[in-house]
Structure 1
Amino acid sequence: MHRVCFQLHVKPDRIAEYREAHAAVWPEMLQAIANSGRRNYSLFLREDGLLIGYYETDDDRASQAALAADPRTAAWEAAMSDFFVALDGRPDQNAQTLDEVFNLEDQLAKENQ
Structure 2
Amino acid sequence: MPTRAFRMNLNPGMAAEYRRRHAQIWPELAQALRDAGVLDYRIFLDESTHALFAVLTHTDKHGLDALPGTALMQRWWQYMQDIMPSHPDNSPVSVDLEPMFSLTPD
Q: Is the CA contact (8 Å cut-off) linking 1:32 and 1:70 kept in structure 2?
A: no
Q: Secondary structure at the match of 1:21?
A: helix
In terms of fraction of residues, the more helix-rich structure is 1
Q: Secondary structure at the match of 1:82?
A: coil
The answer for unaligned runs of 5 or more in structure 1 is: none
Paired amino acid for 1:63 = L
Runs of 4+ displaced beyond 6 Å: none
Deviation at 1:70, TM superposition (A): 2.3
RMSD of aligned residue pairs (Cα, Å): 1.8
Name the count of aligned residue pairs.
102
* CA distance in structure 2 between the aligned counterparts of 1:11 and 1:70, rounded to whole angstroms: 25
* CA distance in structure 2 between the aligned counterparts of 1:36 and 1:78, rounded to whole angstroms: 20
Q: Secondary structure at the match of 2:37?
A: coil
* CA distance in structure 2 between the aligned counterparts of 1:4 and 1:26, rounded to whole angstroms: 22
Seq. identity, %:
29
Compute the TM-score of the two structures, normalised by the length of structure 1.
Answer: 0.79
Q: Secondary structure at the match of 1:13?
A: coil
Compute the TM-score of the two structures, normalised by the length of structure 2.
Answer: 0.83
